[in-house]
A and B are shown apart, each in its own frame.
Chain A
Amino acid sequence: MAGPVFEPIRGTYVHLPLDGRPHRLYFEEAGQGTPLVCLHTAGADGRQFRHLLNDEAITRHYRVLAFDMPWHGKSLPPAGWQDEEYRLTTRGYVELILAFCDALGLERPVVLGCSIGGKIVLELARLHPERFRALIGLESAAYQPPWYDDTGWLHRPDVHGGEICGALMSGLIAPQSPDETRWETLWGYMQGGPGVFKGDLHFYRVDGDFRDRIGQIDTGRCPLYLLTGEYDFSCTPEDTRLTAEKIPGARFTVMTEIGHFPMAENPAQFRRYLLPVLDEIRAAKR
């Protein structure tokens, strides 16, 4: 009989002051080498990266780290949350990423973000290119037209928040994605705290329109890779293409048989696109 299986992932908490308030942030990591910080999608958590964290082809050369944003996963909201409406802002999101990298002493990490995480790498590229070895945006665009009018559906007493988040997101997964990873991805959405997904979308849909500033990005200072799934109708390949066209040197790839959650919905298909990018970044040795 086979013995118990242990994964190489280690998880712990780091205490960070964010926006002047103490936070306790949960993160997981595996591997060694160049730090690769992974940013999960809106309304989800770092579990989306469990396949990357367990992929020896990646962890052989990269120290993969994935934190749960405050209010998400195992990272609690800050004390006093009960009287607040959670809203993610561009400024707060950049502060979070820099604070995490500083606290762990990460030297010029690669950052890979998806959806809201893909969007924020555009700001990291613009504001802090010297701090990163390379940036990878999945399902990333400076702007993406909304596909429903009112995010209020995500947080109201007569509609179950977990059920509606899962049911809406189900359409953003490619039909080819395996059932197990499809439903695991949706389980993450079904588990979000009340109003958290909606609060993240404040950044995605309202505060995060970067069309007026992406022209300032200099990929000569930090390489930028943009990869988008063909089945993503929230951030479509066309949305990403329009962004990439405004950023000289940005590398744009459409991923077939993938939707809005590449690393979570179909890890085997996604790694076909990610591994060459990671190899290229490693080979550059800047």
Chain B
Amino acid sequence: MGAAETHASILSLPQLVNGDAGLVRRGRYLTATFLVEAGGTEFLVLVREGRIAAVERGPFLMRSWTFALRASAEAWERFWDPIPAPGYHDLFAMKKLGVARIEGDLAPLMANLRYVKDVVAAPRRKRRS
């Protein structure tokens, strides 16, 4: 799969998340904008009370975000494998492996960690189904 597929998966987050009532409920106390980078291309994910209001595709000139999750397109693809390989099965696993970085204000991320992990893993759940 190429970068276009990776980008399409990120752009599909509103549909994948907002259709999952349990996930939206678990994120209801999070309103924030976080950044997802896939191999140099940046996306801003706008979360409003657990719903994904929008995903905007960069490049951006000067935008605020709360925290950032950065990996190569290939790493995201491996992360979204229906059965990911060891090291690619979790955001923090990828960070320890050195193929992902987590930056910015970590408090909102840690306070909503299950929600955020489930949001970025949503394309994997779709590929499993």
Report which A residues bind B (CB closer than 8 A): 145, 147-148, 153, 158-160, 163-164, 166-168, 170-172, 174-176, 230-231, 233
Binding stretch for chain A, among B1-9, B11-19, B33-41, B105-113:
B105-113
CA distance A281 to B86 in the complex (A): 30
- Where chain A touches its partner, the secondary structure class is loop
Evaluate whether A233 and B111 lie within 8 angstroms (CB atoms) in the complex, with A167-B117, A170-B117, A175-B84 already known: no
CB distance from A158 to the nearest CB of B (A): 6
- The residue that A175 contacts in the complex, of B89, B95, B113, B117, with Cβ under 8 A, is B89
- The residue that B114 contacts in the complex, of A158, A166, A233, with Cβ under 8 A, is A166
Total interface residues on B, CB under 8 Å, equals 19
User: Which residues does chain B contribute within 8 Å of A158, judged by CB atoms?
Assistant: 107, 111
* Candidate in B86, B91, B114 with the most chain A CB atoms within 10 angstroms: B86
- The residue that A164 contacts in the complex, of B90, B96, B113, with Cβ under 8 A, is B113
Q: Among residues 43 to 81 in chain B, which have CB atoms less than 8 Å away from a CB atom of chain A?
A: none
CB distance from B78 to the nearest CB of A (A): 12
Contact code string B20-40 (vs A, CB < 8 Å = 1, else 0): 000000000000000000000
Can you offer 14 A-B residue contacts whose CB atoms are under 8 A?
A153-B106, A153-B110, A158-B107, A163-B111, A166-B114, A167-B113, A171-B91, A171-B117, A174-B89, A175-B89, A230-B86, A233-B92, A233-B96, A233-B97
Report which B residues bind A (CB closer than 8 A): 83-84, 86-87, 89-93, 95-97, 106-107, 110-111, 113-114, 117
Indicate if the CB atoms of B113 and A233 lie closer than 8 Å: no
CB distance from B33 to the nearest CB of A (A): 19
User: Which residues does chain A contribute within 8 Å of B86, judged by CB atoms?
Assistant: 230-231, 233
- The residue that A168 contacts in the complex, of B92, B96, B97, with Cβ under 8 A, is B92
Indicate if the CB atoms of A171 and B89 lie closer than 8 Å: yes
